[in-house]
Structure 1
């Protein structure tokens, strides 16, 4: 295994693991479409940063902060506002393409921004992915009870004295950091597959949130590794191959779970998330 392949494997395993772990909360809260919207806004930030000669992580980070601040405050992250979120998705993507078309010879940067390039991942990318993985794991461990309660019954959560706005804001911030970290590996448009596929599959295979979170992380890491292996063998885009594996994994989980288990609220949300 070459050094490039080794770094790409480490990057995809870390990104897959953190997306699988955090994805359980994304599925439970029906934030799949918000994750897609966030990815498109980050794509616009990456394009602007590249054109300005700035580090793409700076552009992606600023775009993510702006998206979370605006969409979280206005309620666009909730499922009730999917139509208005759709305007943001199409508008951000269209503006990014307009900026690219105005600059000749920019197609290579477009491809990297859209679908990522894990084989070019450096030690800095791996360090960032490791840090975010630890951050997400610690945050979900400390706030497991509050996050789960707020996901299923925010009214009761507020009645018990918890600050749901702070809980929601913290989760959106974790989601933004995770998507930004995933850009070098799977681009700005495909983190949704890693966020939803492994987590939704885990929720179809187990009824408890904590085991589903651990299983989602393992499935995400395995999916990332498998995506790299398939891309190297068949010479296809790594992120696209990973997304296909995520879809296949969910189809397998949906088929086997309906034969052995009954429907639960978590399973219904897993199916709803993949339907978005």
Structure 2
């Protein structure tokens, strides 16, 4: 295996592990739409950074944090927030396309920002993925009880004195950072596959959050490695290959899950969210 392939494998394994583990919280809280929103906002940040000649990671990070600030204002369960997210999805994508079309010659360079290019991942990308992996692992470990309680019973969480909006904002910030870090591997358009596929598969095989988190991380890492293998063997886009692997994994989990229909409805299925 060449040096490029080795770096790509490490980047995809790290990204897949982080996305798979954090994705359990995304599935439990039904935040898939917000994940898609962050992906589109990140794409806009990358486009703007490229046009202005600044670091694309800085542009993506600033855009993602702006999205977190807007989303956290009313709480992730707010109906108004879902309306805001819908506007941001369409608006960010449209503005990114407008900026690209206004600068001829940029389309080819920004294709990697949209669908990823792990074979061009450098040591800086891998270092950032490692730091984010450690950050997410630490946050999920230290905040396991609070995250689980806030996901299933926000009212009880507030009654116990926890600041639910702070918990929600922290989770959204982790999600935004993860989406930003995943851009070199799977672009801004396909992080949802790695965040949802492995986590949803894990939750079909186990009802317990901690084992599901560990299993989701393992499945995410395996999906990233398998996606790269498919890409190199069949000469297809790596991000697309990884997304296909995630879909196939979920189909396998659904077909082999031993959970009953009642158990599947019970987990993951948090208590009805209320506006915070």
Trace 1:1-276 onto structure 2 (pairs within 5 A). 1-75=1-75, 77-78=76-77, 80=79, 81-257=81-257, 262-268=263-269
Give 3-state SS (helix, strand or coil) of 1:74's partner: coil
Q: How many Å separate the matches in 2 of 1:176 and 1:131?
A: 14
Q: How many Å separate the matches in 1 of 2:259 and 2:165?
A: 39
**TM-score of the pair, normalised by structure 1:** 0.93
Q: Residue 272 of structure 1 corresponds to which residue in structure 2? A: none
Give 3-state SS (helix, strand or coil) of 2:114's partner: helix
Task: Determine if contact 2:186/2:239 at 8 Å carries over to the other structure.
Answer: yes
- Once the two structures are TM-superposed, the CA of residue 268 in structure 1 deviates from its matched residue by 4.8
Cα RMSD, aligned residues only: 1.5
Q: How many Å separate the matches in 2 of 1:16 and 1:67?
A: 23
Structure 1: runs of 5 or more not aligned: 270-276
- Once the two structures are TM-superposed, the CA of residue 91 in structure 1 deviates from its matched residue by 1.0
Structure 2: runs of 5 or more not aligned: 271-276
- Once the two structures are TM-superposed, the CA of residue 266 in structure 1 deviates from its matched residue by 2.1
Q: How many Å separate the matches in 2 of 1:199 and 1:154?
A: 22
The answer to which of 65-74 and 53-62 deviates more is 65-74
- Once the two structures are TM-superposed, the CA of residue 148 in structure 1 deviates from its matched residue by 0.2
Task: Determine if contact 2:72/2:165 at 8 Å carries over to the other structure.
Answer: no
Task: Determine if contact 2:198/2:219 at 8 Å carries over to the other structure.
Answer: yes
Aligned pairs, how many? 268
Task: Point out 4+ residue stretches in structure 1 off by more than 6 angstroms.
Answer: none
Task: Determine if contact 1:15/1:185 at 8 Å carries over to the other structure.
Answer: yes
- Once the two structures are TM-superposed, the CA of residue 107 in structure 1 deviates from its matched residue by 1.4
Q: How many Å separate the matches in 2 of 1:173 and 1:139?
A: 11
Deviations 1:182-236 (CA, angstroms, capped at 9, x unpaired): 0111101111110000001000110100000000000000000000000000100
Q: How many Å separate the matches in 2 of 1:211 and 1:34?
A: 24
